[in-house]
Amino acid sequence: MINRNHICKACEGKGLLADDENWQYTCSVCGGDGIVAPGENTEPNGIFAVDETNRTLE
């Protein structure tokens, strides 16, 4: 069972985030798995590529 303290607070454990137009994309905090383990690095691996409306490009 998953410890509730380890659930990603950014995506609420879903692994997906949504922008204001409801476009969904992989959570950049947990990497899409919905869990942030103690001591896990939550920084992105690189710079995000974005379009002219500031949406992330995958």
pLDDT digits (tens, 9 = 90+) for 19-43: 888 888 888 888 889 998 888 877 7
pLDDT of residue 11: 92
Q: Taking the mean position of all CA atoms in its chain, how far away is CA 27?
A: 2
Coil, strand or helix at 6: helix
Domain boundaries of the chain, sorted by first residue: 1-43
Tell me the whole-structure pTM to 2 decimals: 0.65
Number of H helices, E strands in the chain: 0, 2
Yes or no: say if 56 and 48 are a contact pair by the CB < 8 Å rule.
yes
